[in-house]
Amino acid sequence: MDTKKQLTGPECAAIMIMYLDRKVAKKLLEKMGDEEIRAIGMAMATIDRVDPDIIESVIRTFVRDLAYTLHVPSTGPEFVDQILPDLIDTDRKDNIIPMLRRRVDRSFERFIAQRASEAVAALLKDERPQSQAVSLSLMGTDNAARILKHFTPEEQLEITLRMARLKQIPGDLADDVTSALCEGLGKMDDHLNVGGVDKTARMLGRMKRSDNDAILFAVSDEDEELADQLRRRMVVFEDLLDLSGRSVQVLVKEVAREDLLIALKWASPEIQDLFFANVSRRAAEDLRDDMTLLSHQPRVRVRAAQEHVVSVALKLSETGAIYLPMGEDEELAV
């Protein structure tokens, strides 16, 4: 694992659990919710080897935070949810606690915040406008704003009018709405990301040029923008590792220097070495120096730079200026 990378919360938790005694780790996981365990499991799957310095840093931060929380009392909502019910006699608890929880509990809002807005909107589209308005009213303004975008202008108007006219709703109705949404979205959780455009493009890139050209031509008749996306992503920047030294030299001369710098800065060490090895020593030193001076770039800018380099390589390949291996070798004429 890269020591310079900023670790996320799930990554820190994953490292802690991986290096704890199994029994202790099991007890920790028993205290966590399904969402937390899923996030930690996904983080674990991305971890290869962890430097001792990172482990030490994670543990040090954990101990520091633990010492801090031991001196901080429970928050009000936590007290209402976990402690107050045990302090009230049974006769009154059933009437008071549900009402209090509805007003202080933010778990539904956090639950919705962790879901893709498209998925929530898709589920709500099957509901009546009044139910849609109630659901959006209960999930917090930030969640509601990002989900409402996925409705048509007519639907947005209808929902907005109903939300604005809502003054009070029965507590039982609020419970029914939130429970139904949580149940529906929970069933949608176990979905695999199959890759969409990227994986489809990679598949096409491994086919013979004559075959994928025919497919892309047909796709462009249906959706020209999608066909363009597929063409641009059939070959990714790391595929340039298959270039010969001479091809790299030709490519470097044709690519805008700024795009080359940004593309290489956030590329793998292997592809950086390929480019450095196929320019002059002075040019390689200049590239390294300029890459060191580069400030942080948005991910979209890095992707655009790498796609530009690839598009230049594809054009050079089409003209025969360089050889870029793609897909299966064409059958040789006999």
- State residue 331's pLDDT score: 42
82: which residues sit within 8 A by CB, 6+ positions away? 74
pLDDT in tens, 287-307: 999 999 988 888 889 989 998
CA dihedral 223, 149, 147, 171 (to 10 degrees): -140
Is the pTM of the predicted complex or chain greater than 0.95?
no
Q: How many residues does the chain have?
A: 334
- CB atoms under 10 Å from CB of 107, counted, come to 13
User: CA-CA distances (angstroms) from residue 84 to 78, 109, 130?
Assistant: 9, 22, 34
Instruction: For residue 173, give both structure tokens.
Output: 């109705």
DSSP assignment of 202-231 equals HHHHTS-HHHHHHHHHHHHHH-HHHHHHHH
CA 33, distance to chain mean position in Å, is 20
Q: Stretch 17-26: mean pLDDT, rounded?
A: 83
Residues 6 or more apart whose CB falls under 8 angstroms from that of 49 comprise 1
Q: Which amino acid belongs to residue 203?
A: M
The two three-digit tokens of residue 150, written as one number: 């996925």
Whole-number pLDDT of residue 312: 93
Label residue 327 left, alpha or beta by phi (over 0 means left) and psi (-120 to 50 means alpha). Answer: left
Contact 139, 108 (CB under 8 A): yes
The 8-class DSSP code of residue 294 comes to: P
Residue 170: count of CB within 10 angstroms of its CB: 8
Which tens digit of pLDDT belongs to each residue from 227-272?
A: 888 888 888 898 999 999 999 999 999 999 999 999 999 899 999 9
Burial track 279-303 (b if 16+ CB lie within 10 A, e otherwise) = beeeebeebeeebeeeeeeeeeebb
Express each pLDDT in 86-143 by its tens digit.
Answer: 666 776 766 666 666 555 567 778 888 888 888 888 888 888 888 888 888 888 888 8
Domains of the chain: 9-69 (no CATH), 106-187 (1.10.220.30), 235-319 (1.10.220.30)
**pLDDT at 272 (0 to 100):** 94
